[in-house]
Amino acid sequence: MLRGVPTSLHSKYVPSKPFSCLDGSTTIPVEFVNDDYCDCRDGSDEPGTSACPNGRFFCENKGYIGTLIPSHLVGDGVCDCCDGSDEYETTIVCNNTCFELAQKTKAEHEAKRALHEAGVAKKKEIMAKSIVTQSTRLTRINELEQDLQKLENELKEKEELKQKAEIPETEAKERHHKLWEEQRAVREAIARDNQMREMFADLDTNNDSLVSTEELQKHTELDTDLENEFTVGEVRSILGADSVNFDEFNVTVFEQISNSYQPLQQPSTETSVDLDDLAAATEAHLKKEKEAAEADARLKQEETHFKEEEEEEAAAATETTEGDYEEDPNRQEASSHIATSLDHGKHIHDDTPPEYDDEAKRLIEIADHARNEYSEVERKVHDIKRQIEDLKKQSDVDVGIHGEYSAFIDQCYDYEEREYTYRTCMFKDAKQISKGGGSDVTIGYWDSWSGPADNKYLKMKYSNGATCWNGPARSLTVTFQCGIEHKIVDVREPTRCEYAMLFETPSACDETIAATLIHPDHQEF
């Protein structure tokens, strides 16, 4: 009886003919077959014994699936074939379990077939929806591109209107700014001239129309070397001479001392006065207050009518010479008002520009309106461009030959384990999120489909994630298998920094498996 030979090879083992080794290496008498001696290099002459180390014994396994086992397992006292045919020469009694295995395998195959059948039904829904979605997406892109063309034309019109409105606005603002700068320059010139005149009068204590070293030396606040006395040499270095007249003081001295200069405190003396003297003093004091008020009024008038005052001051400056300088009869009073003039100068130097006039305000309002209209249309243009870009990116994503993976677009899936949450955003990135509050770690960015040649859509690759400590950049391989729902079922790190994810989805279900019929008859490999 010929044992261990598949039915498909029975024609090679003819009892009336010499046997040719299946590898063609030699031909032997047929009686050498299964004689427990290995004659063929491929072991094909001993299919029913364990003589050849590379021999293969065929288990017929009637009612189940025929299988090949290594021939060295034949007669080893262990039942390897479900029908027990591998132990035909031993006393071992093998129970025939082929029927039970057939029933179990049939149930497993049926469950697998049913799973794929249900998954394929959902897969077809996804593909049908993908066709509609893609068509809708392309239609929407076309509509948006038409809207964009109209808006871009409108934007050009709004830009022209904006530019036209901004020209008179800019001119009005420039006129306003120029006038304000001129006014401020005049006010500053008046304030400086008043301050300079009062300071000269205050320093010229002997009324000789000169400021001498002796007069300036009294103002020790001008001494930059605070540790030593204010020497004549230091004073002369400021004046440039033993004394200076009004014009020289204006040109060379005033700017040096204006920031540090302080009027001398007038000494007060206590004397006994009678009622007449007191009345006279009171009258003089009231007169000074009146004159001070009049001086303040003059300063305000100068500020209001700065142009007229500028012309007057310029004319006065032209007519004034060194010999023509006349001492103000109220010089002592002017000295007492230096601080007042300086305080008033702070107001004059105010950098807050005045409000625009009504015409300028009207032009600014028109320009603002034009700018707002331009900005609104520009915002719409940017929004439509963004929508078109997003839709085109979605259209360019490879979601399978028939769009079976289109349900993954813009979707993220989580997998919870003890320390981390793994989040995969399809066609974007994958992250490892610590449950202990640490920062997220990117384990890869979408790279490509990486399945086998016959179906590349069974795996996807995420690469160039965060670099491991002293290691490579992290990466993730997602393997898809048939399932009723889209979900991650397992995540592991089989190799350092290289993660493996198992993902169930209807998109991976196979139409061929779903249509397979389970045959109860004998199957042979």
Length of the chain measured in residues? 525
Residues 337 and 482 in one domain: no
Task: Please tell me the distance from the alpha carbon of residue 201 to that of residue 246, in angstroms, as a whole number.
Answer: 9
Say if residues 482 and 507 touch (Cβ distance below 8 Å). no
User: What pLDDT score was predicted for residue 467?
Assistant: 95
Angle (nearest 5°) at CA 24 between 89 and 42: 40
Whether residue 334 lies inside any domain: the answer is yes
Count the domains in the chain.
2
pTM listed for this prediction: 0.58
Cα torsion angle, 382, 384, 389, 393, sign: positive
Residue 314 has pLDDT above 70, yes or no: no
Q: Are residues 289 and 312 in the same domain?
A: yes
Boundary of a domain, candidates 396, 428, 462 = 396
The answer to whether the CB of 503 falls within 8 A of the CB of 476 is: no
Residue 230 lies in a domain: no
Give the Cα separation of 206 and 215 in Å (integer): 9
Q: What average pLDDT does this structure show over 116-133?
A: 95
Radius of gyration of the CA atoms of the chain, in A: 53
Matching residue, tokens 């006279």: 280
Q: Do 448 and 481 belong together in one domain?
A: yes
* Structural tokens at position 415: 């997998």
DSSP string for residues in 142-171? HHHHHHHHHHHHHHHHHHHHHHHHHHHHHH
Please, which pLDDT band fits residue 225 given cuts at 50, 70 and 90? Answer: confident
In a domain, 245, yes or no: no
Per-residue model confidence (pLDDT) at position 336: 41
Which of the pair, 469 or 144, is modelled with greater confidence? Answer: 144
Asked if pLDDT for residue 148 goes beyond 60, the answer is: yes
Share of the chain above pLDDT 90, in %: 62
- Mean pLDDT score of the chain: 85
In a shared domain, residues 367 and 468: no
Judge whether 489 and 482 are in contact, CB under 8 Å. no
Q: Are residues 452 and 387 in the same domain?
A: no
Q: Rounded distance, CA 346 to CA 304, Å?
A: 16
CA–CA separation, 424 and 115 (whole Å)? 24
pLDDT surpasses 60 at 304: no
Within-domain flag for 251: no
Q: What pLDDT score was predicted for residue 337?
A: 42
Placement of tokens 């807050």 in the chain: 352
Report residue 247's pLDDT band, with 50, 70 and 90 as the boundaries.
Answer: very high
- Containing domain of residue 167, as a range? 139-201+275-396
| Domain C-terminal end among 353, 368, 396 | 396
Check whether residue 288 and residue 165 sit in a common domain: yes
Q: Are residues 335 and 428 in the same domain?
A: no
pLDDT of 295: 60
pLDDT in tens, 329-360: 444 444 444 443 444 444 444 568 889 999 99
Residue 392: what pLDDT? 94
Q: List, for residues 153-171, the tens digit of each pLDDT value.
A: 999 999 999 999 999 999 9
Look at residues 396, 429, 461 and tell me which one is the last residue of a structural domain: 396
And the tokens for 132? Answer: 């509609």
pLDDT of residue 274: 52
Claim to verify: residue 390 and residue 483 sit in the same structural domain: no
For residues 301 and 368, which has the higher predicted lDDT (pLDDT)? 368
Q: Which of 297-306, 361-370, 429-438, 479-488 has the lowest mean pLDDT?
A: 297-306
pLDDT-based confidence at 480, cuts 50/70/90?
very high
Helix (H) / strand (E) element for 188: namely helix 98-203
Does 19 map to a domain?
A: no
Q: Is the pLDDT score of 278 beyond 50? A: no
The 3-class SS string of 398-459 reads: CCCCCCCCHHHCCCEEEEECCCEEEEEECCCEEEEEECCCCCCEEEEEEEEECCCCCCHHHE
Please tell me whether residues 153 and 297 are part of one structural domain: yes
What is the DSSP-derived secondary structure letter of residue 493? E
State pLDDT tens for residues 421-471.
999 999 999 999 999 888 999 999 999 999 999 999 999 999 999 999 888
Select from 287, 295, 280, 278 the least CA-distant residue to 335: 295
The answer to which of 165-174, 210-219, 226-235, 318-327 has the lowest mean pLDDT is: 318-327
**Is residue 108, in this structure, part of any structural domain at all?**
no
Q: What pLDDT shows up at residue 464? A: 96
CA dihedral 227, 267, 328, 334 (to 10 degrees): 80
pLDDT in tens, 44-59: 999 888 899 998 999 9
Are residues 444 and 340 both part of a single domain? no
